[in-house]
Amino acid sequence: MKMKLKEVYSALKLDVDGIADIDVTGVCFDSREAKAGDLFFPLKGERDGHDFINNAIENGVHATIWQSDHDIPNDDIPYVVVDDVSKAFDTLAKYYLAKVNPKVVAVTGSNGKTTTKDMIASVLETSNNVARTQKSFNNEIGVPYTILNMPINTEVLVVEMGMDRTGQIEHLSSLANPDISVITMIGEAHIEFFGTRDKIADAKMEIVSHLQEDGRFIYDGDEPLLRDRAKNVEQRKYTFGRKDDDTLYATEINPGKTSTTFKTNLWPEIEFTIPMMGDYNVNNALAALLVGLESHIKPEAMQKALKNLYVTENRTEWLKASNGADILSDVYNSNPTAVIEVLSNLKNIPTKGRRILVLGDILELGDASIALHESLAKYINPDDFAKIYLVGEYMKYLAGKLTAKYSSGDMKWYQKDQLDKLTDDIKKELNSSDTLLLKASHGIHLENVLHALI
C-alpha cells in the first residue's frame, strides 16, 4: 500500500484541510504487528482495539483511525475520526482496490480453498504481479486487510473468502467485486450453522453476487448442488472434476505419499505434478488450471508452477515419530469430507508396517454430529487400518459402529481429557515401520499427542 494521509481523508469523505502530508505504507489492526508507516484500525474483537493505541504508537504507526464515540487521547499522531471503524475499513479497502485496479480472483469452498488460492496465485505469478490472502485472513477483517496491504503494482489479487453464516460471503464479494469466482466444493463444514448442504451451497453461491458482468464462474461440476444453482448465473461458466462433461477433467491420476501426478483432457500430453498427497487435491489444481487458462497462461508454465507450489498453510504434513514411524498429521482442522478423502488416499499409500488411525471429534456439526461420525464407519476396515484410536464425545458413536469389525484390543476410545493415556498407549504399540494418521478438529488438541510422539 502507498497512500498520502490526505488521500485517506478524501477516500473516507472527510475534510482534508489542515491534514499533515504524510505517507501511509500499510494498515494494521493488531498493535503487536504494527510497524512504521502503518495506519492503525482499532477494530473491536474480544477487546476494543482503541485500548491498544499506545502499543501501536510505540511500534511506529503514523496515524490511527478513531471512532467518534471514544475520547481522543492527547498523542502526537494524527487521528482520523470516523463514525464507524469497521465501515471505514471497508470503505478504504474499496477505494484502494479501485485505485490499484487489479484483476480479482475470489475463492471459497467447504474444503481446499486455501490450497486452491495458493495454486491459483502460483499459476498466475508466472506472468503477473500477484498478491494473495495470507494465512487464513478470509473473513470481514481479513479480506479488507488483504486488499489494503497489496502492493501498488499488483496486477492480480487472489482473495480467499470464508464463512460461518448467511450473508457473509455476499458482503466479502461486495468488497472485492471479483472478475473470477471459484467454488472448490460443498461439504459439511459449518453445517451446525446452516443445517443442510443445500443451505451451505446457497451461502457459497453468494460469491457470484458481485461478480463482474463479464466475469467467469469456475466450480466443481460434479456437485449437483452447484450445477443446479449455476443455471441462474449469467456470466460464463467453467467446470472441473472427473466427468467427461466437465470443462476440465483429470485423467491418469497417480497419488503418492508426498506428491500426486495427473493428466487432463485439454492437455493430454502434459503430466502435472502437485507436491502433496491426495487425489482430492487434484480438483483444487484443476480449478487453478482453469483460472490460468482464462488468464492466457501457457500450460507448460502452469505445469512448472504447480510442481514448485508453495502452500501458505499446509495443515496435512508428513512427520517422523521418535522411533522412526511415519506420521501423517492434520491436527488443526477436520470435517467428514476431509476425513473420508484422507482415509481413501492413505489406504493406498505403501507401508512396510501397519496403518494406524487416531481420529478425534469433528466439531461444528450441530444436530448432524452423531450421524456424520457414525457414517465414517464404512470407510474404516481392518484390511486397510490395523488399529484405531478414537477420541472425544462424538467419536464414541463411531466406536460403537466399528465394534462389529474390530476387537477391543484393536480399537480403543478415549475421552477428550485422556490424551496422556492415549499417548502412552500409542507409544507402547507403535512400531518403527508403521504409518500413523492423526486427524481431528483443533478443539481436541491432538497436537499435544503429536508433540509427544515426535
List the binding residues for ATP. Answer: 109-115
SS3 11: helix
Of 153, 155, 149, the residue nearest 37 (C-alpha): 149
Cβ neighbors of 185 (< 8 A, separation 6 or more) are 109, 110, 111, 112, 220, 223, 283, 337
Q: Count CB atoms within 10 A of the CB of residue 345.
A: 20
Give the separation between CA 187 and CA 222, rounded to whole angstroms: 13
Q: How far apart are CA 27 and CA 35, in angstroms?
A: 9
List, as residue ranges, the binding site.
Answer: 109-115
Query: Contacts from 75-78 at CB under 8 Å and sequence distance 24+?
Result: 78/5, 78/19, 78/20, 78/22
Cα 164–168–174 angle (5° rounding)? Answer: 155
CA distance readout (Å), 129 to 25, 124, 248, 357:
18, 8, 26, 43
The interaxial angle of helices 113-124 and 280-294, nearest 10 deg, is 40
